[in-house]
């Protein structure tokens, strides 16, 4: 999945950009308070997308 598309989905689902790291951006779910790093690659593996969404409490 394209990273930009994944970020759009996260924001649409209520996640907020928290801060930038060395190789990742940190997003937080505003409802659950869970934080998860998102890599800054042009393509993100679908299994990693599923893991990030599950950890943030999204379907």
- Structure confidence at residue 17 (pLDDT): 98
- The H-assigned helical ranges of the chain are 3-12, 46-56
CA distances from 18 to 13, 15, 21, 27, 39 (A): 15, 9, 10, 5, 14
pTM, two decimal places: 0.92
- Structure confidence at residue 38 (pLDDT): 98
How many structural domains compose the chain? 1
Domain that holds residue 22: 3-56
Residue 21 CA to residue 37 CA, distance in Å, equals 8
Residue 10 CA to residue 8 CA, distance in Å, equals 6
- Assign 59 a pLDDT band (cuts: 50, 70, 90): confident
Read off the CATH number of the domain in which 8 is found.
3.30.920
The pLDDT tens digits of the residues spanning 4-41 come to: 999 999 999 999 999 999 999 999 999 999 999 999 99
């Amino acid at each position: 999945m394209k990273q930009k598309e994944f970020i759009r989905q996260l924001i649409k689902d209520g996640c907020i950009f928290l801060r930038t790291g060395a190789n990742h951006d940190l997003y937080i779910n505003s409802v659950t308070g869970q934080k998860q790093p998102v890599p800054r690659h042009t393509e993100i593996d679908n299994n990693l997308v599923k893991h990030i969404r599950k950890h943030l409490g999204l379907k």
